Structure 1
Amino acid sequence: MSAERPSLPPVRLHSEAELARDALAAPLLARAVRLARWAGPGTRVGAGGELVEAQLPAAAEHLGLDADEDGAAYASEAWRLAVDTGLLDVEDPEDAEDGDDGEGGPEGGEAEGTVTVGENLALLTGGSPQDVLAIWLDGLEAVYADATAPAFDDFADLVNEDGSIDFDALDWDPEAEAEFLDGVLGNLYLLTVSEAGPGEGPLPLPALAASMIVPDDMDEPTDEVLEQVSEAMMRLDDQFRVLEPIGIVEYRPLDETLLTEEGEDGAPSADEEDVTRYGLVKLTPLGLYGVRARMLEAGVDAPAIGDLTAKGAEELLAGIAYYPEAAVRAETELWLGRHGSAGAVTAARELLSASRGSDAGAPLRRLHCQQALALVGPEAEPAVRAVLDDSELGGLARVWLAERGAADVPPPPESMIFWLAVDTIAAQLDAEGDLDELQGLVEGLSGQHSSFFDEVWRVDHPGTAEVLEAMGRLHSDKKAAKEARKAAFKARSRKSG
């Protein structure tokens, strides 16, 4: 069973219960919940479901906000989220009513809708963590749409005579805007879950913007590219300010005083303190969950630790084939934990059976099988001893038994020693691990036997020739490297013959 490389490293998510608590604590959703509970039969909404302007001060006051323009904006934003997530149900009026109602209602024949509590409000307190997260994801989609929406000074200037919107006047491409933000969040996700990334630390906004603009093969950005990076930073600053209240990111905004302090090139200073003034952003644990959910929906392969816990051994070994080392161990421990100590023999048998094969992915499966067996207790010994005579598994079985000081372990035949050496190097080549470590493995294995290259080319392993060619490239001793290349030629001749 050949494994496919996942598009992204696996992410370690918080439990659904923890994520649900984070979702409920997100400022925007928390405000939406409070307004949904505050709304009543007398609450007046416009025909489009928005809270009428006359009621915004009272809504802001209920949220503990000042009854000013900012407070009204926050209240309006929270109200829209409550409607978008089903915390409130708004019904448009069937018949418009003319004139003012005397209480600050709409004028000019505009009608008001009615509002009732939505079913989802009860789910936030009485539902499961999955219910809460589903509602939060709906909220994320709504906020995401706001973050990618165009900015304009006067909406009336964009409306044509026939009532349609003049999108050309907006200079806005909704698909391109969404694609850009998807790419940014995808890069931020990758840098967060990658072992080489900042991990839990924040990322400077200039670096994130540059990851979208500067070509990988460009050593020194041009002035034009730097200008594009600056424009992307300003764009992202606005978008992250919109996204932060839903709990997807922690964001330290761009210091607006920099707009008057920048030099002619508009590029940030190299000084670390100055770079932080250009904005810092990090995905929250809830943000990792949300971005991954969006990627999965888009068809992106975005694995998570624990995905393979309930799978069979074949799917486990195929799934972790190209995971980083720490993720391999974490996923394997979860899989073994499902079996428990009582099922150690069964787990070992399943792993050993799944690691057999002569396909290209088999060596790496056997390597991960060996690593998994190292986490299994002595209860697995009967299953391991059962494969001592197996040509593919006998070598790793002897290693496992010897590491535990088991008695009566039969010495391996010389052919098995060479076969295991080839299989081990083939697995490491497939894994594309650290080059120095691989070179040390090659030199260590070949140095254990004085006539290694005279014998190893005869090994009946599908990867013998490829392994010997790699040993010829990697070995630091020129004489040994030459012997490896000669042995590779013999192995290919033997295989073709």
Structure 2
Amino acid sequence: MSDTSPLPPVRLASEPELARDALAAPLLSRAARLARWASPATRVDAGGALLPEQLPAAAGELGLSGDEAAASVSEAWRMAVDTGLVEITDEEQGTVAAGAELRRLTGGSPHDVLTLWLTALDAVLADASVPDLDGLIDAMDEGGAVDLSALDWDPQAEAEFLDGVLANLYLLTVGESGPGAGPVPLPALAASMIVPSDMGEPTDDILEQVSDAMMRLDDQFRLLEPIGLVVHRPVDEALLEDAESGTDGGRPAASAPGSDDELDVARYGMVRLTPLGLYGVRARLLEAGHDAPAVGDLADKGADALLDGTAAFPPPAAHAETEQWLARREPLAAARELLAAARGADAGGPLRRLRCQQALSLVGAVAEPALREVLDDAELGGLARVWLTERGLPDVPPPSQDMVFWLTIDTVAAQLAAEGDSEELLALVQGLAEQHSGFFAAAWRVDHPHTADVLEAMGRLHPDKKTAKEARKAAFKARSAHGG
């Protein structure tokens, strides 16, 4: 993923909502309960872990029992120590006390809670990148040191792989064409990291790598779910048994991620980011230098930042961002600011005016004076007339032919910038050519910086060869006339 390519904007829950989710995350909740439970009688070993004789009481505090209780207690205690909820006061004596972070967690602001949760997330992600215990034991030498070469494990590469997986999951969640809040099959997620984008049919070797990565991700997401990052449906145990026995059931079929049989796909494991997970992954992306905007980032900025910033947003995100921006301003003043920011003959001008028009559609009739003030403006007069007419307001002067053609070129240029050669643009191009006889004879004369580009696009898109040729000729005339 490029550090310079902006990611799609994400709609985050509010900080209070996210903080509540963080406090409810099972792992952090248990860590906090153990921090409150710890007393002067609590003892830890040299590594900060609870002594074995203390585990039953800690398990009782958490309401845990059974074979997994001790492991769950140890995991929660380690989290309490890693995040500063518990502090070791005397390493020789093994005594502990509640840490300063516990006070922040229980009495701090939502931002304080989320900051501590991010620390907890870092710790869990570090654990998720470590090989399983059996592998570590096998790689130990006689002195107890771990031989990393024997593990075939590169800590940095493993961490980068997991970060890449989470980034792809983030993209699938917030992307315009992604599944939104729906779960993603683990084979598809693994394939996104392994299968080359230009590969047709995956080879057996690639499928084997995808299968191995899928199983590794299944283990990792089991660790990440208790911190509230994801909702995870594990791989079906029957598939794991098939994998161990060497039957084909252990490998995801090449068609599995796209299969119509959702139940069959789900057997290979599913995962989705929670609202808290979106917040956490975005925070990590920002820390890594990515441009990961969130809806609401522009609410306190000027209209120029709003119109330019939402230029590449998908329509729903642009709408939501604009609503938040307008909510902080008096409607008439906001309309005037938007119109002023929409002016300009630069490359971004048409798309700014389109975003301005869309923003003004959310403003009530109280903005009428601002629109009437620009009726004679060469760049804004057309959109002002459209706004006034759509609301059925009286005394709207008819536009001149020059203004009509200028607005037409500006609109098509904006659509080109926003969506490229889309089906909507094709329909617009066909409609213009059919409804206005002699359109190209007049259009090439329009004094707009994008006239030639628009006419070239019309020539490229129009399905009728004769009409397309007329458009290309008009584009040539426009470039010649305007020194292009």
Q: TM-score by structure 1 length?
A: 0.91
Match of 1:74 in 2: 72
**Given the alignment, which residue of 304, 312, 318 partners 1:314?**
304
Report the Cα distance in structure 2 between the residues aligned to 1:113 and 1:240, rounded to whole angstroms.
33
Question: In the alignment, does 2:278 pair up with 1:291?
Answer: no
Match of 2:47 in 1: 48
**Given the alignment, which residue of 176, 183, 187 partners 2:157?**
176
- Residues 4, 290 of structure 2: 8 Å contact kept: no
Report the Cα distance in structure 1 between the residues aligned to 2:22 and 2:463, rounded to whole angstroms.
55
Following superposition, the deviation at residue 245 of structure 1 comes to 0.4
For these two proteins, the number of residue pairs brought into alignment is 473
Report the Cα distance in structure 2 between the residues aligned to 1:172 and 1:242, rounded to whole angstroms.
19
Match of 2:202 in 1: 221
* Letter matched to residue 255 of structure 1: D
Following superposition, the deviation at residue 154 of structure 1 comes to 7.4
**Given the alignment, which residue of 153, 174, 194 partners 2:175?**
194
Deviation digits for residues 388-409 of structure 1 (CA, Å, limit 9, x no counterpart): 1111111111111111112221
Report the Cα distance in structure 1 between the residues aligned to 2:183 and 2:382, rounded to whole angstroms.
46
- Residues 358, 462 of structure 1: 8 Å contact kept: yes
Following superposition, the deviation at residue 121 of structure 1 comes to 1.1
Which stretch shows the higher mean deviation, 84-93 or 417-426? 84-93
Matching of residues 359-398 of structure 1 within 5 Å: 359-398=346-385
- Residues 391, 416 of structure 1: 8 Å contact kept: yes
- Residues 442, 474 of structure 1: 8 Å contact kept: yes
Report the Cα distance in structure 1 between the residues aligned to 2:135 and 2:354, rounded to whole angstroms.
64
Match of 1:147 in 2: 128
Deviation digits for residues 215-250 of structure 1 (CA, Å, limit 9, x no counterpart): 222221111111011000111011001100001001
Which stretch shows the higher mean deviation, 445-454 or 462-471? 445-454
Matching of residues 480-495 of structure 1 within 5 Å: 480-495=467-482
Match of 2:82 in 1: 84
Matching of residues 11-410 of structure 1 within 5 Å: 11-66=10-65, 68=67, 70-93=68-91, 111-153=92-134, 158=139, 165-261=146-242, 263-264=247-248, 266-268=251-253, 270=259, 271-339=261-329, 343-410=330-397
Report SS of the residue matched to 1:219. Answer: coil
Following superposition, the deviation at residue 155 of structure 1 comes to 5.2
Matching of residues 5-16 of structure 1 within 5 Å: 7-16=6-15
* Letter matched to residue 64 of structure 1: G
* Letter matched to residue 18 of structure 1: E
* Letter matched to residue 30 of structure 1: S
Report SS of the residue matched to 2:272. Answer: strand
Query: Alpha carbon RMSD of aligned pairs, Å?
Result: 2.0
- Residues 158, 169 of structure 1: 8 Å contact kept: yes
> Unpaired runs of 5+ in structure 2?
none
Report SS of the residue matched to 1:282. Answer: strand
Following superposition, the deviation at residue 199 of structure 1 comes to 1.5
Report the Cα distance in structure 2 between the residues aligned to 1:310 and 1:492, rounded to whole angstroms.
41
Following superposition, the deviation at residue 113 of structure 1 comes to 2.2
Report the Cα distance in structure 2 between the residues aligned to 1:306 and 1:183, rounded to whole angstroms.
26
- Residues 136, 151 of structure 2: 8 Å contact kept: no
Report the Cα distance in structure 1 between the residues aligned to 2:38 and 2:425, rounded to whole angstroms.
66
Match of 1:466 in 2: 453
Match of 1:418 in 2: 405
* Letter matched to residue 127 of structure 1: G
* Letter matched to residue 392 of structure 2: G
Deviation digits for residues 112-168 of structure 1 (CA, Å, limit 9, x no counterpart): 422111111122222111111111111001101000112243757656688864322
* Letter matched to residue 283 of structure 1: L
* Letter matched to residue 287 of structure 1: G
Report the Cα distance in structure 1 between the residues aligned to 2:197 and 2:136, rounded to whole angstroms.
40
Report the Cα distance in structure 2 between the residues aligned to 1:155 and 1:437, rounded to whole angstroms.
57
Report SS of the residue matched to 2:88. Answer: strand
Which stretch shows the higher mean deviation, 249-258 or 5-14? 5-14
- Residues 152, 170 of structure 1: 8 Å contact kept: no
Report the Cα distance in structure 2 between the residues aligned to 1:352 and 1:5, rounded to whole angstroms.
30
- Residues 206, 229 of structure 1: 8 Å contact kept: yes
- Residues 5, 322 of structure 1: 8 Å contact kept: no
Cα distance change on mapping 1:298 and 1:154 into 2, 3 Å: closer
Following superposition, the deviation at residue 23 of structure 1 comes to 0.6
* Letter matched to residue 76 of structure 1: S
Report SS of the residue matched to 2:482. Answer: helix
Match of 1:100 in 2: none
Match of 2:422 in 1: 435
Report the Cα distance in structure 2 between the residues aligned to 1:442 and 1:395, rounded to whole angstroms.
19
- Residues 42, 95 of structure 2: 8 Å contact kept: yes
Report SS of the residue matched to 1:45. Answer: coil
Report SS of the residue matched to 2:237. Answer: coil
Following superposition, the deviation at residue 198 of structure 1 comes to 1.7
- Residues 4, 291 of structure 2: 8 Å contact kept: no
Report SS of the residue matched to 1:12. Answer: coil
Cα distance change on mapping 1:464 and 1:303 into 2, 3 Å: same
Report SS of the residue matched to 1:251. Answer: strand
Report the Cα distance in structure 2 between the residues aligned to 1:483 and 1:205, rounded to whole angstroms.
51
**Given the alignment, which residue of 458, 477, 485 partners 2:464?**
477
Report the Cα distance in structure 1 between the residues aligned to 2:66 and 2:316, rounded to whole angstroms.
52
Report SS of the residue matched to 1:60. Answer: helix
- Residues 252, 268 of structure 2: 8 Å contact kept: no
* Letter matched to residue 412 of structure 1: P
Following superposition, the deviation at residue 54 of structure 1 comes to 2.3
* Letter matched to residue 28 of structure 1: L
